[in-house]
Structure 1
Amino acid sequence: MPPFDVPEGDPFGPHNLPYGVFSPPGSSEQRVGVRLGDHVLDAGAAAHALGSPYASLLARPTLNPLLAAGRTAWSDVRRALTAWVTVPAHRETVEPLFHPLSSVTLHLPFEVADYVDFYASENHARNVGRIFRPDAADSLTPNWKHLPIGYHGRSGTVLVSGTDVVRPSGQRKAPTDPAPVFGPSVRLDIEAEVGFVVGAPSELGRPVPLGDFRDHVFGLCLLNDWSARDVQAWEYVPLGPFLGKSFATSVSAWITPLDALEEARVAPPERTHALLPYLDDTDEEPGGYDLRISVAVNGHVVSEPPFSTMYWTAAQQLAHMTVNGASLRTGDLYGSGTVSGPAEGQRGSLLELTWNGRDALELPDGKRTFLEDGDVVTLSAWAPGPGGVRVGLGEVTGRVTPRVDPSS
């Protein structure tokens, strides 16, 4: 099928146009691409052929120059791309610049600067509290309703979808063990999240207010923050996650621009506690996004978490991340934290789905409490778009591979 002939209702139609970085068949050269249906447009080549003033931003091996250019450039480039793939007068020029998606190699679409992971789902936080603090009067920690809790992760281990994840090793100690042991994690988990990609940087010492969110954040993607629960449980008191999280974070090869998600914007859940002024979004535009996520293990759907239930919005997370004066850099990535809904079939981690290993999942290929070697985890999602059409988010997939002993 010719690249322009996208079936009606395709979630990757001209209303979407997510950005990625690809190599054409037989080449190692990395190029900025835009997805249309089952094809990838060489955006840099199209910009050059059509005389775009933004050709230099698109003829790069990464999205970072475009990200750094700011909101006006993002909007101009998106309008141009939409015209290039929809206006018949451009068809003869643009059509030869498409590649079948199945024929290209996809890469990490941007150079990650800093990585922060949040803890923004009340359902997830309450489930974790009930699992680990069953006798507590409140399953939430005292600060949870007052600020978006987060931690700094490791940007160097952010991986593009399709990259294998090697089972991590570390110290682990069960409550009944007399001493810690070292070895591969036996409680390897996933966290279904949404990642937000920062474009325009900010000045050191100047917090980013809620209303400036769309001036700094270019787009979003699905994110799987793999977690070694046994390593994490032993190490995280009192400073929080470290080796249990830093070994791998998988992101989609496609970044969906915020402008493609206008129809998906929704109000967040009702606030139950008064917020300090820098987080108070009462008079701000709706900060939530109606994203319908699906989590599959070995092709079998185990959960469908709704992102619309997230208590803390991406704008509040950005405001909190910078309120102390910390600056943003182009390529900063921050994750929403595990997305979990109120129902059992909407939980975004195996920790919750199996209630810390108590209740095994029944899969076609056997029972699971946590991930086994060879398991493949896939996150996919869609959002409401214009005229009732869906906006597809690029999937995130990763296969667990066994730890290799370097001495063997």
Structure 2
Amino acid sequence: MASLQSWLEIDPKSQFSLHNLPFGIISTAEDPQLHPAIAIGDYALDLHVFTRHNGFAALSIFQPYQAVFLSQSTLNHFAALGRPMHKVVRGYLQSVLLKDGPFPGVFQENESLRSAALIPLQRCQMHLPMRINDYTDFYAGLHHAYNVGVLFRGPDNALQPNYTHLPVGYHGRASSIVVSGTPIRRPNGQIFTDPTTKTPALAPCRKLDMELELGCFVCKPSALGQPIAISDAQEHLFGFVLLNDWSARDIQAWEYVPLGPFNSKNFGTTISPWVVLMDALEPFATTGIDNKVKPLPYLDEKGKETHFDINLTTTLTTASGKSTTICRTNAKNLLFSFPQMLAHHTVGGCPFNVGDLLGSGTISGKEKSAKGCLLEQSENGKVSIRLEDGEERTFLQDGDTVMINGVSGSEGSFVGFGNCSGRIEAALDLEYD
């Protein structure tokens, strides 16, 4: 892929190259009102300012009433315009930022607009990009599902009989989804503090974990009772974020029978602030893990490339400030794609709304270094993980910071997500009479 050159100076190592232009919601000390922006190099291009100064005047197809959607406090209204309009707007913004592009007078030669609309990222406060009404987390990482199954059921019964036939998922909690950088408090819950008894106690989680995932936002609603066809599912998807599904493994072990995760998963889910649009990832489209089971027709993509080649890493930083990369994997390590997740989710008639979020489930590779959560890496606490500062971990301790990063492409044309990070705070001291 030939590298696009901007008149704006951009570090070749930046994840926010001209090939990317992810959308997010920012505020600044000077303008505390939440509004949209795109990331370009070390800057945020303030789309509220750009719109107010008639930056879209040269894009005749983008009507003024539509441009107003880029001054809202979330991206929901813009997302609802649909993928064809997303492509047009993103392409236009690329063209006004392009060196020797067709619209030099819009931005490059407009010094007052440049100084007002280009804001250093370090001055921006990031916010949740979408208003999220619903959130479903899937379990589509085959290697993760197998590794966890081996821990609890042995290799012969690691995968449940349904696993390769449908995307397994559970309904998450939208109210506890937070933007990167938000602290995560260690949850209290029912756990077995004394393994010799059969009675649980209310106590802080002792097996606090993270999960490396991708999230995908919905941009096109569906009606109650109306399934989304697999052939149409991609048109319902807005873009991707990184996602950390924080997990309390000891709370989960006690509560998940017979209905699945509840309090072990609802205390916090972190997402990255920039939404990488589907069109930005299209050059990296590929296939996922080969499913030996032929899917039912409503899930059959007929070989279409709907997964993406995204390199993913997880870094753990202790209170000492020393960081250790504890996982390197790739988004190709999913058995089911997001279009398949959406098609399955709606096959019974479940409706979707703009801004609904889907999580992939933990994305682990085959290698030991590619395991996407500490449950796998520590074999449920049996094996310690040695960190760069000499400390060891089986699960997360208070003061630990977990950061997920993801990037596609090569130097000069990287398409990345920025960081998805959260720091663990101590549990509340609960006292009951």
What's the TM-score bracket when you normalise by the shorter of the two chains?
Answer: over 0.9
Q: For residue 109 of structure 1, what is the amino acid of its counterpart?
A: P
Q: For 1:11-30, what aligned pairs fall within 5 Å after superposition?
A: 11-30=15-34
Are the aligned partners of 1:221 and 1:394 in contact in 2 as well (CA < 8 Å)?
A: no
Are the aligned partners of 2:324 and 2:388 in contact in 1 as well (CA < 8 Å)?
A: yes
Alpha-carbon distance between aligned partners in 2 of 1:200 and 1:118, rounded to the nearest angstrom: 20
State the shift of 1:178 in Å. Answer: 2.6
Give a deviation string over 1:28-57, Cα, whole Å, max 9, x none: 211101000110011122123223523211
Alpha-carbon distance between aligned partners in 1 of 2:427 and 2:190, rounded to the nearest angstrom: 14
Alpha-carbon distance between aligned partners in 1 of 2:407 and 2:210, rounded to the nearest angstrom: 20
Give a deviation string over 1:142-166, Cα, whole Å, max 9, x none: 1001000000010000000000000
Alpha-carbon distance between aligned partners in 1 of 2:160 and 2:197, rounded to the nearest angstrom: 27
Partner SS, residue 157 of structure 2: coil
Which of 114, 117, 123 pairs up with 1:95?
114
Alpha-carbon distance between aligned partners in 2 of 1:306 and 1:34, rounded to the nearest angstrom: 25
Give a deviation string over 1:85-116, Cα, whole Å, max 9, x none: 22333213341211000011111111111000
Are the aligned partners of 1:255 and 1:394 in contact in 2 as well (CA < 8 Å)?
A: no
Give a deviation string over 1:68-100, Cα, whole Å, max 9, x none: 111222122112211232233321334121100
Alpha-carbon distance between aligned partners in 2 of 1:57 and 1:260, rounded to the nearest angstrom: 21
Q: For 1:32-43, what aligned pairs fall within 5 Å after superposition?
A: 32-43=36-47
Q: For 1:155-166, what aligned pairs fall within 5 Å after superposition?
A: 155-166=174-185
Which of 331, 341, 345 pairs up with 2:365?
341
State the shift of 1:139 in Å. Answer: 1.1
Which of 39, 57, 79 pairs up with 2:91?
79
Are the aligned partners of 1:3 and 1:95 in contact in 2 as well (CA < 8 Å)?
A: no
Residue of structure 2 equivalent to 1:142:
161
Alpha-carbon distance between aligned partners in 2 of 1:369 and 1:271, rounded to the nearest angstrom: 32
Give a deviation string over 1:241-269, Cα, whole Å, max 9, x none: 00000000000011000100111110122
Q: For 1:3-402, what aligned pairs fall within 5 Å after superposition?
A: 4-8=8-12, 10-49=14-53, 50=55, 51=57, 53=63, 54-86=66-98, 87=101, 88-89=104-105, 90-93=107-110, 94-96=113-115, 97-134=117-154, 137-173=156-192, 176-283=196-303, 285-298=304-317, 299-365=323-389, 366-384=391-409, 389-402=413-426
Are the aligned partners of 2:15 and 2:418 in contact in 1 as well (CA < 8 Å)?
A: no
Are the aligned partners of 2:19 and 2:414 in contact in 1 as well (CA < 8 Å)?
A: no
Give a deviation string over 1:104-135, Cα, whole Å, max 9, x none: 1111111111000000011001100100112x
Q: Percent of pairs identical after alignment?
A: 38
The unaligned stretches of length 5 or more in structure 1 are none
Residue of structure 1 equivalent to 2:3:
none
Alpha-carbon distance between aligned partners in 1 of 2:341 and 2:97, rounded to the nearest angstrom: 35
Alpha-carbon distance between aligned partners in 2 of 1:261 and 1:9, rounded to the nearest angstrom: 18
Are the aligned partners of 2:25 and 2:75 in contact in 1 as well (CA < 8 Å)?
A: yes
State the shift of 1:271 in Å. Answer: 1.9
Q: How many positions carry a matched residue from both structures?
A: 404
| Structural RMSD (CA) | 1.8
Alpha-carbon distance between aligned partners in 1 of 2:381 and 2:429, rounded to the nearest angstrom: 27
Alpha-carbon distance between aligned partners in 2 of 1:314 and 1:57, rounded to the nearest angstrom: 26
Alpha-carbon distance between aligned partners in 1 of 2:346 and 2:409, rounded to the nearest angstrom: 30
Q: For residue 28 of structure 2, what is the amino acid of its counterpart?
A: P
Are the aligned partners of 1:221 and 1:256 in contact in 2 as well (CA < 8 Å)?
A: yes
Are the aligned partners of 1:9 and 1:390 in contact in 2 as well (CA < 8 Å)?
A: yes
State the shift of 1:309 in Å. Answer: 1.8
Alpha-carbon distance between aligned partners in 2 of 1:84 and 1:183, rounded to the nearest angstrom: 56
Q: For residue 80 of structure 2, what is the amino acid of its counterpart?
A: A
Q: For residue 405 of structure 1, what is the amino acid of its counterpart?
A: D
Q: For residue 274 of structure 1, what is the amino acid of its counterpart?
A: K
Alpha-carbon distance between aligned partners in 2 of 1:31 and 1:61, rounded to the nearest angstrom: 5
Alpha-carbon distance between aligned partners in 2 of 1:47 and 1:40, rounded to the nearest angstrom: 14
Alpha-carbon distance between aligned partners in 2 of 1:356 and 1:316, rounded to the nearest angstrom: 30
Alpha-carbon distance between aligned partners in 2 of 1:395 and 1:319, rounded to the nearest angstrom: 29
State the shift of 1:27 in Å. Answer: 3.3
Are the aligned partners of 1:44 and 1:55 in contact in 2 as well (CA < 8 Å)?
A: no
Residue of structure 1 equivalent to 2:320:
none
The unaligned stretches of length 5 or more in structure 2 are 1-5, 318-322
Q: For residue 165 of structure 2, what is the amino acid of its counterpart?
A: H
